[in-house]
Amino acid sequence: MMERGIKKVMMIHASRSTFILLLLILLKSCSSPELDFERTALIVDRQQIEILTAHELYEYFLTSKPTYRKAIVEKIKTEFQKDSEFPGLLETIDAEIKPDEHLREEVEILKSIDIESIVNSTFQNLVKELPGPDTKVLFIPANPAYKEIYESYGIGIHAITVGEGKIIVSINPTIRNWEQLLPYTLAHEYHHSVWISRNFKTAELTPLEYLILEGRADAFAKRLYPETRHPFLKRLKSDQENTVWNLLKPELRKENSFMNDQLMSGADNIPTGSVYSIGFNIIESFKSNNPHISDLELIDMNPEQVLMLSKYEDVVKER
């Protein structure tokens, strides 16, 4: 009698265990797979350069169609947000993307590109010219919804540096000039990364600090890739530059100035991307007047000193 009772209890326990096991299997099959970025590590002159792509993540997004935030954005923020000096820049990748044929086209083209070779050859140049920290670069498709805007500006790439050694590059490979712009863009963003590793104090830059930050990065990239034509560098005509500079001067040394957003995104009488044109012209004027100062010395100089030695304001007045 007791034996039959023990067997019955054992059968009930086994049935419950089987049910729980089946339930766990079912729940696991219904949840998102634990996908990760594809990762490749390079060593360039003792610096580690880690290349990240997200082909499997985007494939899962295209086929299973979860929310973009859940499938992609949260993964990127987990990878890049911690200890980042400029985490707010991650907001630029927040916009929802549709899992449609336009995104599929971008993903398929990016999968066919030998990103490793491009990054390796580019960083061989960058590290030699400007030693810096170990660097992680993520390559993702750009939001197809922005294609017309990108084409109107003549660019196929958008990139951000969210902190020391943390770069994210969005590419729309259906726009023809992306391949020419990629080494230049990597040089620009790498310069930001090195500057952060050497000089970062606060993410709240004054307009002057912002101009010099972008100008130095563009001048560095342009020196290494002189044949690359970045459309924002010569975006302003002389009269436009004078107008923007006069609007800018009262805000030049203010923290939390509204002018930073306007210099990037544009406003009345301030064309989009003015920060690049004016910043680049300040540094070009500086280099013309101080040819003995290298990029490695320039990266550590105070923006006030850079502006003064550039004599940029004299150049503007003469126009």
pLDDT, tens digit (0-9, with 9 covering 90-100), for 103-126: 999 999 999 999 999 999 999 999
The kind and range of the H/E element at 135 are strand 135-141
Residues 6+ apart with CB under 8 A from 231: 153, 154, 155
Mean pLDDT along residues 286-298: 96
Confidence of residue 43 (pLDDT cuts 50, 70, 90): very high
**CA angle in degrees (0–180, nearest 5) for 284-289-291:** 85
Q: State residue 103's pLDDT score.
A: 97
Share of the chain above pLDDT 90, in %: 84
Q: What is the C-alpha separation between 150 and 148, in angstroms, rounded?
A: 5
pLDDT band at 29 (very low <50, low <70, confident <90, very high): very low
**Contact assessment for residue 199 and residue 225, using Cβ atoms and an 8 Å cutoff:** no
Order the strands of the 135-141 sheet from edge to edge.
Answer: 38-44, 47-53, 135-141, 166-171, 157-163
pLDDT score, position 245: 96
- How many residues comprise the chain? 319
pLDDT tens string 51-84 = 999 999 999 999 999 999 999 999 999 999 999 9
Give the residue from 180, 95, 195 showing the smallest Cα distance to 140: 95
Q: Where are the domains of the chain?
A: 32-202, 204-319
Confidence (pLDDT) at 271 = 95
pLDDT surpassing 80 at residue 49: yes
Per-residue confidence band for 34, with pLDDT thresholds at 50, 70 and 90: confident
197-243 tens-digit pLDDT: 999 999 999 999 999 999 999 999 999 999 998 999 988 999 999 99
DSSP bridge partners of 40 = 51
